[in-house]
Structure 1
Amino acid sequence: MKRTLFTNGKVYVDGQFQDTDLLVQDGRVAGFSGKADEVVDLGGKLLVPGFLDLHTHGGDGVDVNAATAGDLAKIGRFFAKNGTTGWLCSILTDTPEQTLWCIDQAKAAMAAPITGAQLMGIHLEGPFLCSAYKGAMPEHLLRKGDPALFRQYQQAAEGAVRYITVSPEVEGVVDMIREISGHTTVAIGHSGADYETSCAAIDAGAACCTHTFNAMGLFHQHRPGIMGAVLERPVCCEAICDGRHLHPGSVRMLLACKGWDKVVAVTDSIQAAGLPDGHYKLGVNDVVVEDGDAKLASNGVRAGSTLTTGQALKNLVKFTGESVEKVLPLLTANPARLIGMDHRKGSIAPGKDADLVVLDQDLNVTATYVAGVNVYAGEN
């Protein structure tokens, strides 16, 4: 029973930094004092909960739709360098055969020893999406609502599909949401649904909006649409805070409308994250990255991002002018609660997983721990 004591730092507990020690035992938070086998001197740095990314298609040269279990582990190691301790692999709309292959790889990665950020499960982005707002989704692979296909995927995943994005206006989707919402967290997006249909989807069990404001119909005073529905109703809203997908003013407006407990920061990153400009893939799509901005080679439509969670934290502090204490839940507690993992993830409290990130005063990630194990120790 290895016991590690983190000392001489400021620990983020109950929404504020406290001058306290933190004791970790057997991968969990054991308390705030006690004898230890190992002592980690934080040197005055900040100790915060690990970041959770619920929507990402890859990084460090790896695309989720083509990733083996080993490739997914590589993504996890890259994410750990940026403060991510837990993530969902987002499978872009693909053929059933390729989707099932991706699910098998994710299951193998989840069962393997942790060497970086923990793969917590799967996000299916499609295939039950609207063609008019498909973004980077292959149109010929989009489908009407099909609970049986979802059940096939969830059975193959052994329950690991924790999150799915669907479009309310697609035939059969509202009924599908009603049937599956007890088995996964449902988000609505890639959609131009009208207000009434969007509200029906929320009433059926949809709990979130995927990359809010992007790839969706926008608000009009006479036709509030999906945008009006998700701003009004008590659902969460994803936000890609890279400064490209959302203007800083849009981020502030979203927070003002939804409240700080209903916004979930995501990266929507692709394999180009962490790499130079150039040519990359997003599922079946060719993507060109210029000045860090990823766009489809075919038509220039934005296709994911090159954002990391560590940079998202800095951006949110800059965009909002708020303290890091106030911003942190967007990357920690809020995503954990959305997918029903807040009993283990998203905050530092006794009994929870010791998923921890050390930040310096400039909010740079200097160390990352998953289940109490140091998976990133800073650049040599």
Structure 2
Amino acid sequence: MATYIYAKQFFYEHDVKEKGYLEIRDNGTFGQYTTEKPNGTIIDYSNYSIAPGLVDTHIHGYLGHDVMDNDIEGIKMISNGLPSCGVTSYLPTTLTASADLLNDVCQTIGQHASHIKGAKIQGIFLEGPFFCEKYKGAQNPKYMSDPQKELLDKWQDSAQGWVKKIAIAPEREGSVDFIKHAKSKDIYVALAHTDATYQECLEATNAGANIFVHVYNGMRGLHHREPGVVGAALTIPTAFDELICDGHHVNPISAKIVMDCHGRDKTMLITDCMRAGGLGECQSTLGEFDVIVKDGTARLVDSGSLAGSILELITGVQNVVRWGIATPHEALKMASLVPAQSVGIDNVCGRLDEGYPADFIVLNDSLELQATYIDGKAYYTK
């Protein structure tokens, strides 16, 4: 006998469906939505709303573990913990590091990604190492270089095809050819930690790059005589824009400018969360750097620069609604379907549509998480 989720509303791609029933098939996929009470087992969430599981395409760690630890047990802990943030799919994200360590991390994830429980690994995001030193942020400049196609191929081979996204600085020599090569391998290219001009960004996106990483952070800003990377992120219509909406990385008005200029259908919420996420105030590390977590931020001990975030994605959703810059429907879409579309995984996550894996979240009227389901089974409950 089929199972149905009964709720007050359902957040679909183009609209919010009112009170009704959503079928969960025995194989863990969504069936049809109906307003008529069906025959079957009813799970009553009549006071709550249902949305697609969130998709975090830029996250380094959680609960004391970091992707760069190259520890599969740590990756399992991250996957196990992320449903408490509403996340059901994610891209484990690396940092700028030695080519050998990146190769080892790719190999470790590639060997295990398909059978880790909890939030589903949908690919690997290589954040670096082909960046510019001027906007290094919390990335280690000693490993930065011009992009090398051979290294990307090696990492992808080691990952058994799991590399999904790589970020580069487009002003580095050979970037356009590298972007074209990556796209030929079905790897999405993002622009980050860069001092590029608007024209260099335009050439990169014309070659196939399609994502601006954590807009405003780690990039040349907007100037009236040189629009720079921020100007490109605001105006190039084919690209997607990442935003860290923790209230520290980007002012709410600045986030609204991105959403208004570029469109909420092309703006995605990410966390850039590092290992200290979920641990409260503490001392921590990011890559080879010491970090202090205090007052809601993670900062490098030596410079005070922001070192990723401790943001949970459901909190980012709540923030943009609370700031009055997005509706609940827009906010949830920016944290699920839009990031999935940015890296071509919207065929397996980010929707409540029939036939999709039944990965979804249960929310109250304040968008506070009540439960997270994966493949139709409750994985986290408040």
How high is the TM-score relative to the length of structure 1? 0.95
- Corresponding residue to 1:128 among 118, 127, 130: 130
Q: Percent identity?
A: 31
- Tell me if the contact between 2:108 and 2:159 (Cα under 8 Å) persists in the aligned partners: no
CA distance in 2, matches of 1:358, 1:109: 29
- Corresponding residue to 2:49 among 46, 70, 81: 46
Superposition map of 1:198-277 within 5 A: 198-234=201-237, 235-277=239-281
Deviation for aligned residue 1:41: 1.2
Which range moves more in the overlay, 160-169 or 322-331?
A: 322-331
Q: Which residue of 2 aligns with 1:101?
A: 104
**Change over 3 Å in CA distance of 1:8–1:301 after alignment to 2:** closer
CA-to-aligned-CA distance 1:141-160 (integer Å, 9 cap, x gap): 11211011101111111221
CA-to-aligned-CA distance 1:308-336 (integer Å, 9 cap, x gap): 01100100101235421222110011011
The answer to whether structure 1 residue 329 and structure 2 residue 333 are counterparts is yes
Count of residue pairs brought into register by the alignment: 375
The answer to whether structure 1 residue 23 and structure 2 residue 18 are counterparts is no
- Tell me if the contact between 1:12 and 1:18 (Cα under 8 Å) persists in the aligned partners: no
- Tell me if the contact between 2:111 and 2:159 (Cα under 8 Å) persists in the aligned partners: no
The answer to whether structure 1 residue 59 and structure 2 residue 62 are counterparts is yes
CA distance in 1, matches of 2:39, 2:175: 54
Deviation for aligned residue 1:294: 0.6
Question: Which amino acid in the other structure matches residue 120 of structure 2?
Answer: Q
CA distance in 2, matches of 1:277, 1:164: 31
Deviation for aligned residue 1:35: 4.3
The answer to whether structure 1 residue 340 and structure 2 residue 339 are counterparts is no
CA-to-aligned-CA distance 1:53-75 (integer Å, 9 cap, x gap): 00011111111100422211211
- Corresponding residue to 1:152 among 146, 151, 154: 154
CA distance in 1, matches of 2:3, 2:256: 39
Deviation for aligned residue 1:138: 1.1
- Tell me if the contact between 2:57 and 2:91 (Cα under 8 Å) persists in the aligned partners: yes
Superposition map of 1:181-200 within 5 A: 181-182=183-184, 183-200=186-203
CA distance in 2, matches of 1:46, 1:67: 37
CA distance in 2, matches of 1:323, 1:203: 32
- Tell me if the contact between 1:212 and 1:237 (Cα under 8 Å) persists in the aligned partners: yes
Segments of 5+ residues of structure 1 without an aligned counterpart are none
Question: Which amino acid in the other structure matches residue 47 of structure 1?
Answer: I
- Corresponding residue to 2:91 among 88, 93, 104: 88
CA distance in 2, matches of 1:254, 1:73: 34
Which range moves more in the overlay, 210-219 or 325-334?
A: 325-334
Q: CA RMSD in A?
A: 1.5
Q: Which residue of 2 aligns with 1:74?
A: 77
Q: Which residue of 1 aligns with 2:145?
A: 143
CA distance in 1, matches of 2:7, 2:367: 17
Which range moves more in the overlay, 49-58 or 61-70?
A: 61-70
Question: Which amino acid in the other structure matches residue 215 of structure 1?
Answer: G
Deviation for aligned residue 1:357: 0.2
Deviation for aligned residue 1:112: 2.0
Deviation for aligned residue 1:39: 3.0
Deviation for aligned residue 1:139: 1.0
- Tell me if the contact between 2:106 and 2:156 (Cα under 8 Å) persists in the aligned partners: no
How high is the TM-score relative to the length of structure 2? 0.95
Deviation for aligned residue 1:296: 0.9
Q: Which residue of 2 aligns with 1:7?
A: 6
Question: Which amino acid in the other structure matches residue 41 of structure 1?
Answer: D
Question: Which amino acid in the other structure matches residue 32 of structure 1?
Answer: Y
CA-to-aligned-CA distance 1:189-241 (integer Å, 9 cap, x gap): 10011122111111111101000000101011111122222222111110000
The answer to whether structure 1 residue 310 and structure 2 residue 310 are counterparts is no
Question: Which amino acid in the other structure matches residue 249 of structure 1?
Answer: I
CA-to-aligned-CA distance 1:338-378 (integer Å, 9 cap, x gap): 11111221111111111100001221111101121211022
Q: Which residue of 2 aligns with 1:294?
A: 298
Segments of 5+ residues of structure 2 without an aligned counterpart are none
- Tell me if the contact between 1:122 and 1:162 (Cα under 8 Å) persists in the aligned partners: yes
Q: Which residue of 2 aligns with 1:32?
A: 33
Q: Which residue of 2 aligns with 1:117?
A: 119
